[in-house]
Amino acid sequence: MMVLDSHAHCGLSLPWEKLKPLWEEGGIEGGVLFSPVEEIYNRFDGSFVDSTAYQRSREKVHQYLASLKSANIFVYWFVWNDFKVPTEDFCGIKWHRHAGEPAYRYGIPECEALIEHICQKEMPVVLEEEYYITLELVEKFNGRTTLIIPHCGNLNGGYARLKKAGLFKHPNIYVDTSLADPLQMEDFAADYGTDRILFGSDFPFGDPAAEYRKVEKVFSGEDKEKVGGRNLLRLLQKEK
């Protein structure tokens, strides 16, 4: 069984050398890396638009992530308001915004073009947005690629609220376990099975070993294998 972390931040401000020993401690053999938010935009300035410094920062962190790609390390492109198309090094997308942070210009043609590109390439998208925007983006993607709701939806409006809206019934909607309550993992598995649950740590906000121990307490046997890594490999079409 290969254990893979589907949700870890890594970049120039949070280098691989900090994450690697924590993965090793938890018996985690690889996983998905995407940039820390602060290297993409100023999340603490709600009126922030962009700057040359942040444009350079995004370019540098994506180059750094591309240099880390290996057989067991997969890198995701972090979307920003320029809706730049990812390079070929990236096999997935991190789409991130919280309330109070700079608003994304969802109505512009560049956004629509990026969504079409993502769908054509069938790139999985870790989608973290406000509740109503999450639902709107799900409609825009319209089942054409996999959308992963991180933290079992706790930062997308809440697990119970998303479940009530029927979001988790869609076969292309996955969840990751990062910082989630084990009861939410159990509830999702009871109603929808374990094929669409991915282990994630949300490093540095979560400790990888501790987050995986939560998974081990909830799941066993084949279910633990699927959540721990097989589902991610299947999603990225690299199942071993």
Q: Is 8 part of a structural domain of the chain?
A: yes
Residue in the block written with tokens 């350079």: 56
User: Taking a C-beta distance cutoff of 8 angstroms, is the pair 108, 88 a contact?
Assistant: no
Structural domain harbouring 132: 4-235
29 within a domain of the structure (yes/no): yes
Residue 58 in any domain: the answer is yes
- Name the nearest CA neighbour of 236 among 33, 66, 92, 67: 92
Q: What is the pLDDT of residue 46?
A: 92
Render 83-146 in DSSP notation, one character per residue: -PPPPTT--EEEEE--TTSPPP-TTSHHHHHHHHHHHHHT--EEEE--HHHHHHHHHHHTTSS-
Read off the pLDDT of each residue in 206-235 and give the average, rounded to a whole number. 98
Burial class (CB in 10 A: 0-12, 13-18, 19+), 190: exposed
For residues 95-101, give the mean pLDDT. Answer: 95
Give the residue-averaged pLDDT of 13-33: 98
As to burial, measured by CB atoms within 10 angstroms (0-12 exposed, 13-18 middle, 19+ buried), residue 240 is exposed
Q: Please state the domain count of the chain.
A: 1
In this predicted structure, the answer to whether residue 1 has a pLDDT above a threshold of 90 is no
238 band by pLDDT with thresholds 50, 70 and 90:
low
Furthest CA-CA distance within the chain: 50
Give the 3-state secondary structure of residue 29: coil
The reported pLDDT for the residue numbered 78 is 98
Question: Rounded distance, CA 73 to CA 238, Å?
Answer: 12
Residue 139, domain CATH: 3.20.20.140
115-128 per-position pLDDT tens digit: 999 999 999 999 99
The mean per-residue pLDDT over the stretch 193-203 comes to 98
Structure tokens at 168: 């988790």
Q: Specify the DSSP class assigned to residue 170.
A: S
First to last CA, the chain: 10
Query: Tell me, what's the pLDDT at 237?
Result: 86
Between CA 219 and CA 92 the distance in angstroms is 26
pLDDT at 149: 98
pLDDT tens-place string over residues 129-170: 999 999 999 999 999 999 999 999 999 999 999 999 999 999
Look over the chain and give the mean of its residue pLDDT values, rounded to a whole number. Answer: 97
Q: What is the DSSP letter of 233?
A: H
Segment 30-56, tens digit of pLDDT: 999 999 999 999 999 999 989 999 999
Q: Which amino acid is at 2?
A: M
Q: What's residue 49's pLDDT?
A: 86
Tell me, yes or no, whether 59 lies in a domain: yes
Structure tokens, 224: 């633990």
Interval 64-76 mean pLDDT? 97
- pLDDT score, position 188: 98
pLDDT for position 240? 42
Whether 240 is covered by a domain: the verdict is: no
Residue type, position 83, single letter: F
- Has residue 239 got a pLDDT over 60? no
Instruction: Judge whether 156 and 131 are in contact, CB under 8 Å.
Output: yes
